[in-house]
Amino acid sequence: MSRVVLSIGSNLGDPLANLRSVVDALGSRVVAVSGVYATAPWGGVEQQDFLNATLIARDPDLDCRGWLRFGQRLEEQADRVREVRWGPRSLDVDVVDCDGVVSADPELTLPHPRAHLRAFVLVPWLEVEPDAVLTVDGSVVAVRDLLAGLDRSEVDGVRRTGATLVVAQ
């Protein structure tokens, strides 16, 4: 049984519908889904705020690369364009963690190499998994401790919206 933590985000088109498309595609594989958070863009590119959420899912037929391909297909279906690094996007599906695997493979680095630096990943993740841990530089660290180490302004910039991503039954 493969277990994955996915961070999803969107700031183009209908961002909430784009996030919901991921939940709908996962269907019964969703174990937990966070609320929706509005966050300032990360990386210095001028653009509108993002909507972000974190999902935990399980699938006995997908390995870590399978989850990567799944996310890439959803991005393609949302007409994701990769023109500017950290630029605006219709949908971003990042594999944050997959079965605790640590990999330096350039196609799929696990855990996600910048997840521990991003409040927009950590805040929603803690909402759905308060005891979450992440391997950082070879050490397993509680996600709450990673979040506590971030700049307070970045953490405060992750704002819960009233929107939810309902799992289709």
Catalytic residues: 80, 89, 92, 94
Report whether 55 contacts 22 (CB < 8 A).
yes
**41-60: b (≥16 Cβ within 10 Å) or e:** bbeeeeeeebbbbbbbbebe
The kind and range of the H/E element at 54 are strand 50-59
Identity (one letter) of the amino acid at 109? T
Q: What is the CA radius of gyration of the chain?
A: 15
| Cα–Cα dist 7/22, whole Å | 10
* Cα first-last separation, the chain: 21
CB 16, CB 51: distance < 8 Å = yes
Distance, in Å, from the CA atom of 132 to the CA atom of 129, rounded to the nearest integer, reads: 5
Residue corresponding to tokens 């704002």: 159
